[in-house]
C-alpha cells in the first residue's frame, strides 16, 4: 500500500460520500497508477440505483478512475508544484471511448488502473480501466486539467 484513504484525502479535495478511492497500491510518477475502491451495500447511491437490484453506476466508476488519475497528477508534480497543488483542483476536459463491460455490485473490489497517454503542462490524457476479479468492467480515455480553485 502506498497511500491509504487518509493520505488520499491529503491529496484530493473529495470527501464522503464522493471520495471514490480507498487505496493506492502502485504509482509510477508521470506514468501509471493503480488503486481500488471496495464497493459496499451501505453506500448512499444504492438507495436509488436500483432498489432490490443494486448496481454501482458507471458514472461513479468513471469518477473513481478520474480521482485515481488526480492522485497520479498531483503526486507527479514537482515538490514546488505540490505546495501549489493545495490550491488546485482537477477538472474533466473530456471522457472518450467509455465502455461498460459488466455490472459492478456490492461486495466487489473495484480496481482502477490508469496509464498516461500524454502529459503536457497541466493537461493529462489518461487510459483508464477498471477491473473486478481481473475482469475488465469499464474503460475510458480521460482528459483532465489541473486548475486553480
Catalytic machinery residues: 49
Is 110:91 a contact under the CB 8 Å cutoff? no
CB atoms within 10 A of CB 96: 9
147 phi, psi to nearest 5 deg: -130, 165
Please give, one letter per residue, the 3-state secondary structure of 82-123.
HHHHCCEEEEEEEEEEEEECCCCCCCCEEEEEEEEEEEECCE
**How far is residue 106 CA from its own chain's centroid?**
18
CA dihedral 63→65→66→70, nearest 10 degrees, is 130
Whole-angstrom Cα distance, residue 56 to residue 61? Answer: 8
Amino acid at each position: 500500500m502506498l497511500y491509504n484513504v487518509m493520505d488520499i484525502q491529503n491529496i484530493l479535495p473529495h470527501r464522503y460520500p464522493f471520495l471514490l478511492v480507498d487505496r493506492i497500491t502502485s504509482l509510477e510518477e508521470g506514468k501509471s497508477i493503480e488503486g481500488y475502491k471496495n464497493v459496499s451495500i451501505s453506500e448512499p447511491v444504492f438507495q436509488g440505483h436500483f432498489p432490490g437490484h443494486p448496481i454501482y453506476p458507471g458514472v461513479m466508476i468513471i469518477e473513481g478512475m478520474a480521482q485515481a488519475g488526480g492522485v497520479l497528477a498531483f503526486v507527479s508534480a514537482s515538490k514546488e508544484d505540490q505546495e501549489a497543488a493545495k490550491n488546485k483542483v482537477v477538472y474533466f476536459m473530456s471522457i472518450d471511448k467509455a465502455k461498460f463491460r459488466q455490472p459492478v455490485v456490492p461486495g466487489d473490489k473495484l480496481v482502477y488502473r490508469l496509464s498516461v497517454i500524454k502529459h503536457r503542462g497541466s493537461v493529462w490524457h489518461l487510459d483508464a480501466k477498471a477491473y473486478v476479479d481481473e475482469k475488465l468492467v469499464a474503460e475510458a480515455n480521460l482528459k483532465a486539467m489541473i486548475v486553480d480553485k
